[in-house]
Structure 1
Amino acid sequence: MNLLRRGMCRSLALSCFAAVGQAADGDKPLPEVEVTGSRIERMDFETLEPASIVTSEYVETRGLTNLADALNETPGFGTATTPEGGQSSYGPGVNFVNRFNLGSNRTLTLVNGRRIVSSNTPHIFGPAAPGNQVDLNFIPTILLDSVENLAVGGAPTYGSDAIAGVVNVKLKQDFEGFRAFGQYGQLDGGGLDNDSVGLVAGWNLAADRGNFTASLQRSSSNGLLATENSRFANAYSYLANPSTAVTSTQPGRTPANDGRVNIDIPFNTSNTDGIPDAVLVRDRRLKVVNFGGLALPTGANNLADGRLRCFGGTQTTCLQFAPNGDLVPYDAGISFGNNDASGGDGLYLMETLQLVTDLERTTGTASARFEISDGLSLFADMFAYRAEALEIVDQTAYNSVHFPGTSSGITLPSDHPMLTAQARAALASQGVNSFRLSRAHRDLTVNNARSESELYQIVLGASGNFALGERRFDWEAYANVGRFEGTYYSTQLNRQRFVNALNVVNVGGQLQCSANPGYANLPAANAGRVLVGGEAPVADPACVPLDIFGEGRRSGAALAYVSSIQRTTTEMEQQVFNANIGSELFDIWGGPIRYNVGFERRHERGEFRPDDYLAAGLGRTAALAGPMGSYTTNELFAEAVVPLVSEKNDVPGIHALTLTAKGRRVDNTVNGAFTAYTGGLQWSPIPSLELRGNVTRSLRAPSLTELYTPESPLFTQVADPCSLGAPVGQRPEVRAANCQAFYTEYGLPADGSWLSNAITSSVPGSSQGESSLRNESANAWTAGFVFRPRGEHDFMLAVDWIDIRIDGVITNLFAGDIAGACFDNVAYPNQYCDRIERNPPGSLQPGQITFVQTGYINGAFQSTAGVTAEGRYRRELGNSGAIELGLSYYRLREELRSATGLTTTDTREVLGSPTDSVQLNLSYETGRFGALWQTNYLSQQLYNRALTINQRDVLEVGSNYVHNLSVHIEPTERAVVRLAVTNLLDGAPPFPIGGDSFNGNYEFLGRRYSLSLTYDF
């Protein structure tokens, strides 16, 4: 058996696409199949909406063991949620795709045309924007048949979340035989080791009336640290360009030797001198903190010129704690701004950054189909998935002088009992009675996330057909039940115990904790105690003294006392029942009108449960409370395909003209009803050309997080817009007029001299979900053509224009957003003003803010527009084989966002949203050998459209090419060996991407190899 499938989309190239339903030789029609976005079978992969296919052959040839990797490098898919970079504490390692960069929660992912339970943790600190995203990690690539990507028009067929499009993963349904697969890969030079093994077996039953297929696949990949990548290890960053005044206090410092990359940029003179306020600097360090701890004087952090303020007459004698607890000289590096430096002994943040998460995952599947009779079949599909993910490193807990509150620097007496004799003498030599400790607690806790997750899904159903008169009716009914369970672990520093363990006394040569140690030379407010963020020690017989004077000096008992591993769990449940029936209504001139109608009921439930420690807020974060809630939808849907003109009518200029209409009525138990629809035309003036277009209205229902997040108290400062000294805002005239109305209402001076307390003092507030949220509603249109001329060679080209606008975008607003939206709005007062409570007119302090309600609202809009192109050319070379060229292209024409409707942000061509993205695939096949060359291209991108040369020295990054090579050979009829090289030329992202910022659109890992074997028994 030849393992390389022949026929449509037979090449190793990525892109196959919606094409006119006609056979290659023009004589025989291709069989009808059900395609994504419709429940009515069509000829070939003929769709009204723009669509493309990723084949299993492509995934195998590229050496990809995760389907998400294939989609994320496809033009038209935006920045995704992946295992790369920093991870959420409540969902590390997940893979959510993001079509058209509209948000991963607006791309609907299906398996075999059916919904899958979400793996997105229902919490505001989940791995992605709130929604019903599906983790593609659970898809076993050994069972993959294809992935159909439909743009825009899926909502009438499938319901909520399909605003950007639908990703429909199709798995092998009727496999016969036994197949084994194994693959191993790693980086060039070692690292990022990954392996995958899988088995799939299938049997036909009862004279081929039934089939049973089962698969098992396990994949494992090791993570990668930023320090293991040369671009990241250089620690590039944009830091404040000092003024020319530094030359008087730092003699010898010049742009040529202070760490900046572009030595031709001089020191700054003003904000309008054409000299950047920020410059790209290598080897960025946090000069105010490190892992062993700095001993700093009380008072100001910095000298007048920005250098770190230390001890001695010149305040330049800087000291740090060595691993043995002694105080040794500290090199603060070359100062850039208040907290940063180039070089020196300060905190090297690259040690706290990972590039890829450790991930191990296993998926088992079973599917069965049995034909009871010619008109009745039963089917069942089952999935079981388990994964473990580890964010290998992350930033730790701090007590640093550049942070406030609980994370601020700690003032300690210079004779603290846990200081070494050398350290006490060193402090005494500087005339120091007390000092501030500035430390990153890597040896106490690292906030890296770890997770264990399981997903179960079962589908039971029946399908069949019957005749009524001269019409055949096809029907299907199924029940779909899914459950996701996630357990998340984190190491937490106990806030109270940490303070207890620092208050130590020496009693008869024994160090003991004391709630009242009676330290001298501390601020009077401390009452002789070490305080952390104002928190005082309490008596605790279990307390163990903690030595934080040098990295790694804490005892095991002290570590166990102040830190512990905490556990959070989440559950997501989904239940779907769907029944539909289709037939032909009646015949018209162009042929029969085909239709499908049906009903779907869907129930979604989610729960987030922190353990008692987190719920009580014993760590350094606010007390955690998780949403628990559910909703149910009842949905009626219908679809009709009307052949106005067909080939048999022989109408000049109209080879075929087809009208499609789809509608869906969604009734949600929380937020009511919504009608989604699609209407479109497909017109073929000649057999080789089809013109197509549609208009679509779609929705995204509020997620469980957005609806049910419980009220959480907070304290926040507010930039009250009408206060003395407040900014003029985005609409100065509107704000001024509304402030005058505000002054009049509250009896305040009209001259703007009123001062809001919330400017400088925190006021109470809360954040919570909002059960009255409306559906996001999207209006979209597409227009394009498919060209496939008849001839000797196989050529196809599809080009489509796409335009999507989403209104009522669900947005999480903060206090400053709310206050600004209140007073910068032409309509005053408005819904944003209602979220701010103030003292009433005539009270003691009229107009002062007393409470702010933050949280989720239906905001303004989000829009995107672009052009997609998919092309393929295949040429047979006789006995020499065949070559094929594939093209996938996306041109971004518009990308706008507005949270409140008052200002609009244009993110087109900004990092993550390139104007042009292209993928070219050139493949060659002959006999038992094949090869694929692939090139991926991204156009140049801006850091921020608002930045100017007065603000920063690097405003954009250049275009980027990545080349991949894959070869395969079939040594026998049953075996295929594949070698894949990703990033063949070992290219890096355009400078300085990767050192100054993390952007998942770019390939930054370097050259890597994979070798695989597939064998059929």
Structure 2
Amino acid sequence: MQAQSLSSLAGRPVLAAVRPQSALRLAIVAALGLGASIASAQEKAPSTNELEEILVTGTLIRGAAPTGSDLVTVSRDVIEATGVTTTAELLATVPQVTSFNTMPVGTSDFSQPITPPNLRGIGLGATATLVLVNGHRMVGAGVLQTIPDPSAIPTSAIERVEIIADGASATYGSDAVGGVINMILRKDFDGFETTAQYGYGDGFDTMDFNTVFGTTWGSGSMMIAYEYAGRNNLQGRERDYVTNDLTSQGGADSRSTLCYPGNVTYNNVNYTFPGLTPGLNRCDNTQYTDYLSAEHRNSVYATLRQDVTDNVEFFSEAYYSQRKSTPLNAQPGATFVIPITNPYFVAPPGGGFAPFEVVQYSFVREFGPNVENPQELTAGGLVAGVNVKLPGDWAMELLANYGIGTTETTDRSLNAAALNAAAAGTTLDTALDPFGGRTNPAVLAAIRSGGTYNDADQELREISLKFDGPLVSLPGGALRMAVGAQYHYEEIDAKTFYIQPNNRLDLVAPSYGDRSVRSAFAELNLPLVGSGNAFTGVRALTLSASTRYDDYSDFGDTTNPKFGLNWTVVDGFSLRASSGKSFHAPSLADSNVATVDSRLQILPFFPFFPPGALPGPAVVIAGGQPNLKPEKADTWSVGFDFNPAALDSLNVSATLYNIDFRDVLGIPFWTIGLFTNPALSQYYTYRPSAQQLDALLNSGIRIDGTLTPALRAAIIGGGEILDLRRRNLARQEVQGVDFNVNYSWNTSSGLFFAGLAGQRELKFDLTAAPGAAAVDQTERGRVKWRARGTFNWIGAQWSTGAFINYTGKYNNPNLLTQEVDAFVTVDAHVTYRPKATGWLEGTQVSLLADNVLDEEPPMYLSSPGFDSANSSALGRVVSINVRKSW
């Protein structure tokens, strides 16, 4: 993108992988206060004692652009043109983020209540992507994860999002293997802006209200932004393609037999409720499961900047966010034994005699079709620091960062002990009646009382000191350097309680872990050739070198370098390259010996068994474990940027990237060959002996579930033990191409802009375990193409445009014989800015339509009938947005 006037940029929705040298220009323009639209943009000169030059993501040196790495920028205009109500939704507009073209949502249990962004789709979850705000970290969120929730930041406070989809541990330390997502806040905003938005879809509506107030004065500025976002839930029964019975489309019938009406097995024959005739009832638990839960979020962010003296500037940021959601799951069912001594025992007619019957049952009649699992996440933080101007154009930054977050989740289930006791009850007051619904209400209350309550507090403390400035003047420009140190501390204090009758909480799994990291870093920017010594074939040549040393209290030390090169061959055409090392330290939730999720799960039925074996009961060992090692990666990229003088508004760029990710934390899933790969055979035991099962049960690991004598015998006779704990298991080698083309042109009727940005994955080789062979995953469920096209027109009072989102074909990872069709959606928007004075001045009205063609997800022959990781069940949502600048 070339430097352009504010009037040509205002109101333009742009998703651009911009050239590094152009990224600096874009950042400078954005920081000057680009407003909501042509009508409401406000420009305010920064204070005369401004000490801070623009710092772009990917470098620690003021006034420099990241050398060798591509910079993807999502502008303020995209936020306004798309009408996104959360930062997670905003990031889902970026093809390099794996949530692209989906509706990112967390899980309905405590495992992952937030959906952190994941660049490149590498690593376990999103642990290999670093999320920053104004260049600093946020406190983590969750019980089983320590990744921050980007939606804690109000979208109204964000000026732009900068993404370096390249290894960046040399600059930022751990977690930056796949890249960095940095949310840059609005700066020197002067005015008062209010936005209200209401959106409606099929069975779904959403509401967003936000307001921003800012003011500047001669020596400083302040801003405060508040946002409320709310939505209702969306269940499977509201979409006809959501189902567990896919036989009509050539798939399998995965409906449950834990139903109401239920099933009885008597003398090894299956009978159905209510008439106890031979057969098997099945029910579809997708119908009453939330695929988007009801949610309400309040968030606020405030900033302050003040010149203390001519050479000292104080700055601070503070934020607070509270998110409440109420996921609804289908009412759980259970398998239990009714002995003949139960007064409600009913034998199937003509079934002969047996002393007991096995019942499969869901308590829909007693408790309703749904169970609520409420979640509440709060996060807050405070950043304070000073910028000090030093002699010789050097500067010092001292920054302190503190954050604290709390996650509370309730995961309701049946009380297995109460259920088994009631099934074995011998009186009308104590026994369970699954046949006629005559169970004593007190007995039902005890059965319903099961589940867990999970509470986790996380804390972040950081202090960093950085110096940067020029070392020496060279013909190509100034050799600049940044050097500094940082102290980082984090902790997690998590607890799990069993819910007992009368809502009593029994603590079963306390967990505490902490970590400190001492770091030192340095970066050099060396302009070998510039305007003062350019020659044919080398108009400019810049090298960069950076390194970071991190000393962990629990993992030892690591040093990670990175090198970059920018080479302008001729005016308008440049090449770039980067190479470096990155790493990710296992989170405290993974590596603490007492992690809250380390457990044995007793499962009466598990669908995944070795080939030729019938599905049956299983004991699953889940969670983290001690002695994990850091994940490490070698990364490199090469690319070009083309901006010809004859077509000044044309920008073309492409980047070839490669990531070799080793010691990757993983789980030995059946989808990567648990039962067929000899290297993974140590992680499962089919038909364990009594000694093997007892040794595991007595190992001291927490047990979730009840192992009845009948279930124990079934596991020994035809069940399995699966060790699915996280471990340094795999190696991933990823290669692909990022590309971007955009062009704008002015006409007498307004400004036009067209662009195409995307990603093509070329290789994803997975080595499932040490000693295993590498297997190419590109035909095993990986999406190879993701792209987003943009076309917009901006007139004097009207503007309109569309975004086309493309997720390419891929093979179903659970059924490789099925090729899943591409998912293509179109988002459109129209904005009107009236020429008015008085109370209408500074007003604009927008009509927004996401998935305007109401495209359904492509057929997916695995439960629940669509793939939420690569498509969305939300359908068309039309929104009205009103913005007013006061």
State the Cα deviation string for residues 545-571 of structure 1 (Å, max 9, x = none).
Answer: 5443257x6564333232226422011
Whether 1:563 and 2:439 are equivalent positions in the alignment is no
Q: Structure 2: any 5+ residue segments left out of the alignment? A: 33-52, 604-609, 692-715
Whether 1:638 and 2:522 are equivalent positions in the alignment is yes
Name the SS for the 1:498 alignment partner: helix
Whether 1:669 and 2:553 are equivalent positions in the alignment is yes
Give the one of 748, 751, 776 matched to 1:882.
751
State the Cα deviation string for residues 85-139 of structure 1 (Å, max 9, x = none).
Answer: 7824216652311111114111100001110011132x3xxxxxx5x42212212
- What pairs up with 1:770-919 in 2 under 5 angstroms? 770-791=625-646, 793-812=648-667, 855-877=725-747, 879-901=748-770, 902-911=772-781, 913-919=782-788
State the Cα deviation string for residues 490-513 of structure 1 (Å, max 9, x = none).
Answer: 32322222233334455xxxx332
Structure 1 match to 2:147: 133
Give the one of 73, 81, 96 matched to 1:76.
96
Structure 2 match to 1:974: 842
Distance in 2 (alpha carbons) for counterparts of 1:781 and 1:631: 30
Using a 3 Å threshold, how does the CA distance of structure 1 residues 618 and 941 change in structure 2: closer, same or farther? farther
Give the one of 346, 350, 353 matched to 2:286.
350
Once the two structures are TM-superposed, the CA of residue 614 in structure 1 deviates from its matched residue by 8.1
Structure 1 match to 2:56: 35
Using a 3 Å threshold, how does the CA distance of structure 1 residues 1014 and 697 change in structure 2: closer, same or farther? same
Distance in 2 (alpha carbons) for counterparts of 1:886 and 1:789: 16
Structure 2 match to 1:174: 188
Name the SS for the 1:559 alignment partner: helix
State the Cα deviation string for residues 903-961 of structure 1 (Å, max 9, x = none).
Answer: 333221443x321111100000010211111111122211149845xxxxxx2122232
Report the residue type matching 2:337 in the other structure: I
Once the two structures are TM-superposed, the CA of residue 760 in structure 1 deviates from its matched residue by 14
Whether 1:200 and 2:173 are equivalent positions in the alignment is no
Give the one of 189, 213, 219 matched to 2:223.
213
State the Cα deviation string for residues 651-699 of structure 1 (Å, max 9, x = none).
Answer: 1211100001111001111111111111011000112111000101011
CA contact (8 A) 1:906 1:945 kept: no
Using a 3 Å threshold, how does the CA distance of structure 1 residues 1003 and 299 change in structure 2: closer, same or farther? same
Give the one of 481, 489, 493 matched to 1:607.
493
Give the one of 371, 387, 411 matched to 1:490.
411
Using a 3 Å threshold, how does the CA distance of structure 1 residues 224 and 161 change in structure 2: closer, same or farther? same
Structure 2 match to 1:708: 592
Structure with bigger gyration radius: 1
Report the residue type matching 2:569 in the other structure: P
Structure 2 match to 1:1000: 869
Once the two structures are TM-superposed, the CA of residue 41 in structure 1 deviates from its matched residue by 2.6
Distance in 1 (alpha carbons) for counterparts of 2:602 and 2:229: 45
Structure 1 match to 2:567: 683
Deviates more, 1:437-446 or 1:642-651: 437-446
Q: Under a length normalisation based on structure 2, what TM-score does the superposition of the two structures give?
A: 0.83
Structure 2 match to 1:577: 463
Distance in 2 (alpha carbons) for counterparts of 1:793 and 1:411: 80
Q: RMSD of aligned C-alpha atoms?
A: 4.0
CA contact (8 A) 2:653 2:739 kept: yes
CA contact (8 A) 1:221 1:360 kept: yes
Name the SS for the 1:774 alignment partner: coil
State the Cα deviation string for residues 870-919 of structure 1 (Å, max 9, x = none).
Answer: 12100011x311100011121100112223131333221443x3211111
- What pairs up with 1:365-404 in 2 under 5 angstroms? 365-392=301-328, 394-399=329-334
CA contact (8 A) 1:20 1:688 kept: no
Once the two structures are TM-superposed, the CA of residue 19 in structure 1 deviates from its matched residue by 4.3
Structure 2 match to 1:459: 383
Name the SS for the 2:799 alignment partner: strand
Once the two structures are TM-superposed, the CA of residue 762 in structure 1 deviates from its matched residue by 11
State the Cα deviation string for residues 817-861 of structure 1 (Å, max 9, x = none).
Answer: 999999759xx9x9999xx9999xxxxxxxx9xx99874432341
Structure 2 match to 1:538: none
Structure 2 match to 1:264: none
**Which is richer in strand?**
2
CA contact (8 A) 1:646 1:656 kept: yes
Structure 1 match to 2:429: 512
Report the residue type matching 2:743 in the other structure: Y
State the Cα deviation string for residues 498-552 of structure 1 (Å, max 9, x = none).
Answer: 233334455xxxx332xxxxxxxxxxxxxxxxxxxxxxxxxxxxxxx5443257x
Name the SS for the 1:493 alignment partner: coil
Structure 2 match to 1:337: none
Distance in 2 (alpha carbons) for counterparts of 1:569 and 1:56: 36
Once the two structures are TM-superposed, the CA of residue 577 in structure 1 deviates from its matched residue by 0.7
State the Cα deviation string for residues 49-76 of structure 1 (Å, max 9, x = none).
Answer: 1121111211211121112223223212
Structure 2 match to 1:410: 337
Distance in 1 (alpha carbons) for counterparts of 2:486 and 2:361: 57
Using a 3 Å threshold, how does the CA distance of structure 1 residues 194 and 550 change in structure 2: closer, same or farther? farther
Give the one of 144, 149, 163 matched to 2:177.
163
- What pairs up with 1:979-990 in 2 under 5 angstroms? 979-990=847-858
Using a 3 Å threshold, how does the CA distance of structure 1 residues 435 and 141 change in structure 2: closer, same or farther? same
Using a 3 Å threshold, how does the CA distance of structure 1 residues 959 and 854 change in structure 2: closer, same or farther? closer
Structure 2 match to 1:102: 122
Whether 1:481 and 2:402 are equivalent positions in the alignment is yes
Count, aligned residues: 809
Distance in 1 (alpha carbons) for counterparts of 2:235 and 2:615: 40
CA contact (8 A) 1:576 1:603 kept: yes
Whether 1:14 and 2:15 are equivalent positions in the alignment is yes
Distance in 2 (alpha carbons) for counterparts of 1:209 and 1:58: 31
CA contact (8 A) 1:63 1:978 kept: no
Once the two structures are TM-superposed, the CA of residue 868 in structure 1 deviates from its matched residue by 0.3
Distance in 2 (alpha carbons) for counterparts of 1:447 and 1:91: 17
Structure 2 match to 1:293: 262
CA contact (8 A) 1:92 1:451 kept: no
Once the two structures are TM-superposed, the CA of residue 330 in structure 1 deviates from its matched residue by 8.4
Distance in 1 (alpha carbons) for counterparts of 2:615 and 2:198: 58
Using a 3 Å threshold, how does the CA distance of structure 1 residues 372 and 821 change in structure 2: closer, same or farther? farther
Using a 3 Å threshold, how does the CA distance of structure 1 residues 707 and 969 change in structure 2: closer, same or farther? same
CA contact (8 A) 2:523 2:545 kept: yes
CA contact (8 A) 1:108 1:165 kept: yes
Name the SS for the 2:237 alignment partner: helix
Deviates more, 1:102-111 or 1:955-964: 955-964
CA contact (8 A) 1:821 1:832 kept: no
Using a 3 Å threshold, how does the CA distance of structure 1 residues 452 and 818 change in structure 2: closer, same or farther? same
- What pairs up with 1:261-340 in 2 under 5 angstroms? 261=249, 279-280=250-251, 284=253, 286=255, 288-294=257-263, 296-301=264-269, 309-310=270-271, 319-321=272-274, 327=275, 332=280
Give the one of 67, 75, 80 matched to 1:55.
75
Using a 3 Å threshold, how does the CA distance of structure 1 residues 199 and 605 change in structure 2: closer, same or farther? same
Using a 3 Å threshold, how does the CA distance of structure 1 residues 633 and 92 change in structure 2: closer, same or farther? closer
Distance in 2 (alpha carbons) for counterparts of 1:230 and 1:438: 26
Once the two structures are TM-superposed, the CA of residue 410 in structure 1 deviates from its matched residue by 2.4
Using a 3 Å threshold, how does the CA distance of structure 1 residues 587 and 708 change in structure 2: closer, same or farther? same
Structure 2 match to 1:342: none
Report the residue type matching 2:396 in the other structure: W
Report the residue type matching 2:333 in the other structure: Y
Once the two structures are TM-superposed, the CA of residue 300 in structure 1 deviates from its matched residue by 2.7
Give the one of 149, 152, 166 matched to 2:166.
152
Report the residue type matching 2:138 in the other structure: I
Name the SS for the 1:42 alignment partner: coil
Once the two structures are TM-superposed, the CA of residue 866 in structure 1 deviates from its matched residue by 0.3
Using a 3 Å threshold, how does the CA distance of structure 1 residues 817 and 921 change in structure 2: closer, same or farther? closer
Using a 3 Å threshold, how does the CA distance of structure 1 residues 482 and 33 change in structure 2: closer, same or farther? same
Q: Under a length normalisation based on structure 1, what TM-score does the superposition of the two structures give?
A: 0.73
Report the residue type matching 1:458 in the other structure: L
Whether 1:591 and 2:477 are equivalent positions in the alignment is yes
Name the % identity. 22
Structure 2 match to 1:692: 576
